[in-house]
Structure 1
Amino acid sequence: MDELKAVIVQCGNEEYAIPVQSIVSIERLEQVNPIPHLPDFVLGLMNIRGELVPIFDFEKILYHRSAKEHDETRVVVVQTDVLTIGLLVLDAKEIIDIPNDSLTDSALKVYSKTPYFTAVANLEDRMITVVDPEVLAQTLSGMDEIGAYVEAKISEAK
């Protein structure tokens, strides 16, 4: 494969690429039911086409401020081995093909707090950080509790 096809999302002033093969859908933020006693980046559960999806504020994960108050916010629903999750981002802008020869990971290896940043695309007019949703889901605190809570809510609904 010569290119990485990705959805470009915005958090803060930065752009991030999420590989399309991980993405289930892109949604508007609807009613979110809070989940008590979980990290503050977990907004709660949103019902997306009959499925309960935990919504994570990606802006809060990265920059400790919320994306919730912006008009253009979108929920990027991604499938991981751990759980289907929704990432709240400031905007989901476009789908692009990133040439593999523009990707580098050397600068990211030294920073252990963001193992979910797997590469940086150095394009002509912009730099875009590639996010691996699978690694993100594995490294965030509270994932076991969130999964158990979602399973319990699904069981209650039956």
Structure 2
Amino acid sequence: MVEKGICFRLGRERYVHPISTIKEVLSYQSPAPVPGAPEGVEGMINVRGNMVTIMYGSHLLSLDPAECEEEGHIIVLDLPTGYVGIRVEAVERIMDLPENNDTHGLEYRDHDCIQGTIQYDNDLYILVEFDEYCAALD
């Protein structure tokens, strides 16, 4: 079975996250602020009776928030610790991920979430996995 990934945009870059832990993609909705929340947490929303913590994708990937202002979508992850939403500018498509993790290293950006890069239809995508990083924030 070929693993699939969801492609999204933040700032000038395109990313892909494996779809295995993604519960759903929502249109952006402004979350309620959470007093005393850690940096990077925008707030919380209620999705069909489940509370979802919304985090800025720009914060998770150490990007300049000024380059990622557009409100677009929330990617909801279903993690053992609960639901976490990642705010991104746009979700573009679902694509097949390469077999055998055939990804290329990404020398200029060292980050726990970044796994490498994928070349797909003449576009470069940065492969990310937020699961472990977000679960550790709990």
- Residues 5, 19 of structure 1: 8 Å contact kept: yes
Match of 1:155 in 2: none
Aligned to 1:55: 54
Structure showing the higher helix proportion among its residues: 1
Q: Is the 8 A contact 2:10 2:90 kept in 1?
A: yes
Kept in 2, the 8 Å contact 1:68–1:88? The answer is no
Question: What stretches of structure 2 of length at least 5 have no aligned partner?
Answer: none
Q: Which residue does the alignment assign to 2:116? A: 119
Report the Cα offset of residue 68 of structure 1. 7.9
Decide whether aligned partners of structure 1 residues 84 and 11 sit closer, same or farther in structure 2, where only a CA change above 3 A counts. same
Compare CA radii of gyration and give the structure with the larger one: 1
Counterpart for residue 86 of structure 2: 87
TM-score normalized by structure 2?
0.83
Unmatched 5+ stretches in structure 1: 145-158
Report the count of equivalent residues: 136
Please show how residues 15-26 of structure 1 align to structure 2 within 5 Å: 15-26=14-25
Q: 1:97 to 1:78 in 2, by over 3 A?
A: same
Greater strand share, 1 or 2? 2
Q: Residue in 2 aligned with 1:29?
A: 28
Pick from 103, 128, 131 the counterpart of residue 131 of structure 1.
Answer: 128
RMSD: 2.5
Residue identity opposite 1:117 in structure 2:
I
- Relative contact order: is structure 1 or structure 2 higher (C-alpha 8 Å, sep ≥ 6)? 2
In structure 1, what is the Cα distance between the partners aligned to 2:67 and 2:22?
19
